[in-house]
Structure formats: structure tokens, C-alpha cells
Structure 1
Amino acid sequence: MKNSKKSLMHVLGVSILLSVSSTSFAELIMDAPGGAGQAALSWSSEDAQQLLNGDVSALVEEVSPQGSTKITTSVRSSNGVVTQSAPKTVQILSNSGYSNQPQVNARAALVMDSQTGEVLYSKNSNAALPIASITKLMTAVVIADARLNMSEEITLKQIDFAGAGGKNSSSTLRAGDSMNRAEALLLALMKSENPAAAALARTFPGGRSAFIATMNAKAKSLGMSSAHYVESTGLDPHNIASARDLGILVSAAYQYGLIRQFSTTPSYDFNLGYRVLKSNNTNALVRNGGWNINISKTGFINEAGRCVVMHTTLNNRPAVVVLLGASSSQARTNDATRLMGWVTQLPKRI
């Protein structure tokens, strides 16, 4: 697409072996990042820019066989030395009944301490509901797991704009637009572009049907007991999950540096060769700053209402926030702000 782009060089390799017990939501097995001698997993904005310019490779993450009960993070440095961090088990505890809990507009909500597993706030969190473009977070996980060439050019086709569930795919993109896979993923996560997410599924090895099967297999392996996917964009209301399922998904997605960086990019100018597409993050809380948000994805279709999932750090507490079915974008933002402000006032469990 761009003559200035180079092929991605494999200068960074990260292997994350990730599996979560499928028995229930009550136990997530996660690794605490960091540790002596371990390379950092997070990317800076400069690193993400280099990826999109074709100067470095994407983080490489792969999934361990099902049945494992821990996440082990191994990092191979430039000299070939592999270091590993110790696995950490996080028990998901029931709502501890904090007083003065805020009221939320959303149909379902969950706030969870992602380090201790304590559920801080819960509203209808077991109800399976349409999740709209929150779907794209699983789309990103499947792409990251597949270890595909992120510099490969993808040209959008008319079928990518067909929508799903009888809905049109409204977009500023056009059939014939060309971008690399990294840019398509960034468009899907940051700007929630449906044709980009559709093209990621279409160009997956085995095509769209293989992609959807992989989405559902991944959900099952993570223990997302009520989750079900029928397509990759979220336009179809038959894509469903509970707030608790999505708490699991956000916790898993946090392990992917690429997803953390791309989902929280405030804005990006996509050079499509013959025009520049100026794009902003769909989450006002990311665009406006003020909160330490590590992962973000919004969603909306009529059946789902306004939705958002986030991984954030509140008063030194890592927390997952899930809101499904808010009545408006402003109500969704207000709910999230109230919940996050409330969490910052809570005593941190020792």
C-alpha cells in the first residue's frame, strides 16, 4: 500500500501460554506481569507506530493446549535467553457487599479487582445479552493467537460491507481500500470499523467459518460459559455473552500487548494511499484522558444498547469494568465514571 513501508522484522518474540479453567467463572488463572529479569510486555505509543510503519513485528502470542491451569509468560530476549515469571492464581470472590454502591443505567454491569479476583460491583452479571462490537475484542484475540503476518496487505471487498443480522455496515471505509493486517486490527479495535473486522475474518486461514469456530473455541477454553459468536463484527445480535463472561475475556485480552496498545490509541491517521482517514477512539474516556485505561472496547446496536468493557488502574488497583445495555453514550460514560470514581474510594484488599 505504501512504498515507505518495510516488511515486519521479527525483532521481538513473546510467547504467552494462556488457559483458564472452563469449570466456572470462580477461578481465573492469571500471571502477574513483571519480575526480576523479565522484559516488559506493554508497548509505548512509539512502538505501536513502528509496527504500523512496518519496522517491528507484532507481539507473538500462542495458546497452550486446553487443560492447563495456569498462565506462564515466557520472553525470549535478543540474545536468545528465555525467562519466565511464576504463575499466580487469582480466586474470583463473590460480591463483598460494599456500602454506598452507585446506581447504574446499564442493564448489566461488573467491576472486578483483576489482581485479587474480588467482584466489587455486580448487576445482572450472569445474564447473557447481545454484546455488539465488544465482539471485536475476541476478534483481536483470535488474530493475535494465530500469529499471522501483520504486514500482509488486505484489500476490502464489497462483502466486508454487507453487515450482519440484516444491518448495513456504516463506515468511512470503501471497497477497494487497502491496508496491512495491523492497520485493520487497529481500525477494528480503536474506531470499531465493521468492514475491518469482517476482512480480518475473511482473510483468516480457512476463511470466515474457521474464524467463527475459533472464536467459539477460544471462548469455551476461557470458561466463557454463556458466550456465543456468529460473526466477527458484533452487528449480529446473536453474538451474546454475560458481563461475567466479558470479565474473563478482558482479563485474558490484557495479556496481549498489541491489544492493550491498539484498543487505547486515542487517534490515528490512516494513510490509504490516495486519502488519509483521520480516526478517533470510540471511547470518550480514552479520547479525553484522565483515567489510566489499559484496554477499551465500546459497542452499540439497537438490541444491545450502549456497551463498554475496560481494564483500568484505579488507586493502584487493577480493575475490569463491564457495562452492557446503557440507554445512551452519555449514560454509558456516566455509569463508567461513577463506578470508577467509587472504586477509587474503596479500601484495597491486602
Structure 2
Amino acid sequence: MRSLKKSLVHMLSVPLLLSLSCHSFADLTIDGKPAPHQNLSTHDVKELLADDDELELTPQGSTTASTTLRQSNGAPPAMHSGVVDTTFMNNAGPNVHAGSALVMDAQTGEVLFSKNSNSSRPMASITKLMTAVVTADAHLDMSQDITLEPIDFDGPKKASTKLRAGDKMNRAEVLLVALMKSENPAAAALARTYPGGKPAFIAAMNAKARELGMSSTHYFESTGLDPRNVSSARDLAILVTQAYKYGVIRQFSSTPHYDFNLGYRMLNASNTNALVRNGGWNINLSKTGFINEAGRCVVMHTTVNSRPAVVVLMGEPTTQARNTDATDLLNWLTGLPKDT
């Protein structure tokens, strides 16, 4: 089991298929090529989920970062919501289009770039990152079949989906399609099938946010379609740091492509983040989001020049602007001295 955990810790360099013994996954494909199968028992998956949040890893591709964010002068940024800070950076940085942005050294918690990072705003499908954390914390049976119901497709907004009522997947596949493809019915089904149902799930999301010190964050549902799901760039950097501790979230959120075998049809899905699909950067964790009220959003945990870093962009006007700003920040980070 220890060797198995070590292989999953390094899943960023060797993508693995979390295929459960009694419910096989479809082939995980990277650039169209199936990845090797790694058969795990349900017990092994549960043990992995139980131990992930206790791992202390070292760079490359991992971090022991605290959730305390620090600026380069050692002073903590303002902790209350609604504070509109000026753009902060150690060196000249890109002029991002985002309403809020933050780049943080994930190992030290040092804030390298900040724009309105304490302002609370709708987070859209970045919500699903907390949905994944709450699901993982519950240590539920990941091989349990979940059938999507019509209620999973209801919500404050109608969103595009490739899923249909009656589709059946195991819980791990539901989590994968929620993180990678940002499928809203999948995130709704995870909340519905949680012990105590949706009310208990939403309570757990908000309790986890309070536990992590995410003071500008509140959740009303599990998908992100409700604009009342709000957070700040600072809080989302804390969430990314926490979510990174879970191997299953790292792998699922950074999977470029996956073919789901639903029995009666194949569902070919790709990651919603073009930077993950294109494979030009070492992105360890990713989640995108969009509703009109939130604009385009993205959070990433990446490793640049052996420095683990968290990038948060909220309120981008277009997908192209989001991708451009993310790329510009990563390029800027590439040239930043490590001891900054």
C-alpha cells in the first residue's frame, strides 16, 4: 500500500487510471493514447483518500504550503472581504484583465501578485473544487454506482451538458467528470447522494470554508451555477492549497481527456482548461468557471522552475482573456527570482 501511495503522489509525471476492482473505468487517454491501468480495491481508494490530507510533500510538483498568505515584506494581506487593494507585485508584472487576481508561492505562502484579492465575488464552477474536497473528506464508497436523476439537471440556470438523466457512473467517475469537464449534473449528484443529502453537503462545504479561514466565502449549492456562491481570490488560493493535498483531486482536475463508457454510449470529454489540454505547462491542479455574474474564472496549482505556485483569476471578460492572462502570469513567474 505504501508503494501504491508513492506512485499516486507522483501521478503528475505518470498519469494513472483509478479503476476500481468491481467497476472498471473507461480508458484514460493522454493525447489520444490510453494510460496504463492501475487496479485498486475500494478499500485502497478509501485509504488513499483518508491519508492524502496528511501528506507532507516536497517540490517538484508538491508542497507543504500553509494557508497563511504573506506579502514579500512579511505583512499579511487584509483578511476581511470587500477590501479593494491595489495591484501588488515584487517586479513589474502583466496587466491582467481579471477583476481579481492572485499569484502565491505555494510553499511559503508569499503573495507574489495581487489585484483586488480580498474582494468577494461570484466564483461560478470554482465551487466544484470545494465539492470535491467535501466528497473526498467523507470517505464514501468510490465504486458505488450513481444514476443521474432529473433533479440533478435543475438549478438557478440551465447549463450545457453532455450528460443525460439515467446515465450511470460510479462515484469516482462522477467526481472526475465534475472536476475535468465541469459537469453541473455530476456536482449536483455528488451533493444529492451525500449522507444527509444536499442540505448536509452544503453545510459541510461552508463548515470546511470556515475551518480553512476562508472568511469571504459562502456556498449555496454544489455546482457554482448560483451567483450567491461567492469567494475572493485570497480565499480561493487557500482552497487550492488545501485541495492540492488530495491525490484524487490533483489527478482528476488535471486530466486532459477521458472517454467515459456509459454502457450504451461513449462520452468523450476534455478538460475545460486549454492550458491543461495543450500540455505546455506543469499544471498540477486546475478548475475553471463561468456564469455571467462571475465572468471567466480559473484557479491552478502549477510548478514553474521548481517553484510551486497558485494562480487565481476571477472576473475575466472572455475565455481568451483568461487564457492570455494565465499564460502571461506563468511567463512572468518563470522569470521571477526564486528568493523574491
TM range (shorter): 0.7 to 0.9
Deviation at 1:278, TM superposition (A): 0.4
Counterpart of 1:92 in structure 2 is 69
Name which of 201, 226, 230 aligns with 1:236. Answer: 226
Q: Are 1:317 and 2:285 an aligned pair?
A: no
Shift of residue 50, structure 1, vs aligned partner: 3.0
- 2:263 corresponds in structure 1 to 273
Cα 1:89/1:215, change in 2 over 3 Å = closer
2:45 equivalent in structure 1: 58
Any unmatched runs of 5+ in structure 2? Answer: 26-38, 58-63, 74-88
> Alpha-carbon deviations, 1:233-270, whole Å to 9, x = none?
00000000000000000000010000000000000000
Alignment of 1:144-223 (within 5 A): 144-164=136-156, 167-223=157-213
Cα distance in 1, alignment partners of residues 135 and 149 from structure 2:
19
Question: Does 2:297 match 1:326?
Answer: no
TM-score by length of 2: 0.82
Q: Secondary structure at the match of 2:11?
A: coil
- Displacement of 1:218 in angstroms is 0.5
Deviating beyond 2 angstroms after TM superposition, the runs of 4 or more aligned structure 1 residues are 10-14, 38-55, 57-64, 71-75, 87-92
Distance 1:112 1:230 in 2: 27
The answer to whether the 8 Å contact 2:97/2:316 transfers is yes
TM-fit CA distance, 1:163: 2.1
Matched residue, 1:102: 94
Q: 1:55-81 deviations in whole A, cap 9, x for unaligned?
A: 3142633499xxxxxx74389xxxxxx
Between stretches 41-50 and 110-119, larger displacement belongs to 41-50
Question: 1:274-306 deviations in whole A, cap 9, x for unaligned?
Answer: 000000000000000110000000000000000
3-state SS, counterpart of residue 244 of structure 1: helix
Distance 1:240 1:147, change over 3 A: same
Matching of residue 43 in structure 1 with residue 35 in structure 2: no
Alignment: residue pair count: 300
Q: 1:73 aligns with which of 42, 45, 55?
A: 55
Task: Give the number of the structure with larger relative contact order, counting CA–CA contacts within 8 Å between residues 6 or more apart.
Answer: 2
- Alpha-carbon separation, structure 1, partners of 2:146 and 2:97: 39
Sort the Cα spacing of 1:11 and 1:271 in 2 relative to 1 into closer, same or farther, 3 A: farther
AA aligned opposite 2:284 = N
**Are 1:90 and 1:115, in contact at CA under 8 Å, matched by a contact in 2?**
no
Deviation of 1:318 after TM superposition, in Å, equals 0.3
Identity %: 61
Distance 2:24 2:253 in 1: 18
Does residue 242 of structure 2 align to residue 252 of structure 1? yes
Q: Once the 2 structures are TM-superposed, how far is the Cα of residue 41 of structure 1 from its aligned partner?
A: 2.4
Aligned CA-pair RMSD: 2.5
Q: More displaced, 245-254 or 54-63?
A: 54-63
Q: Which blocks of at least 5 consecutive residues in structure 1 are unaligned?
A: 1-9, 15-37, 65-70, 76-86
**Residue 253 of structure 2 corresponds to which residue in structure 1?**
263
What amino acid is the match of 2:49? E
Alignment partners' CA distance in 2, 1:349 and 1:214: 38
Distance 1:12 1:198, change over 3 A: farther
Give the match's secondary structure for 2:55. strand
Q: Secondary structure of 1:58's match?
A: helix
C-alpha displacement at 1:93, in angstroms?
1.8
Alpha-carbon distance between aligned partners in 1 of 2:253 and 2:269, rounded to the nearest angstrom? 13
Contact 2:67 2:241 in 1 (8 A): no
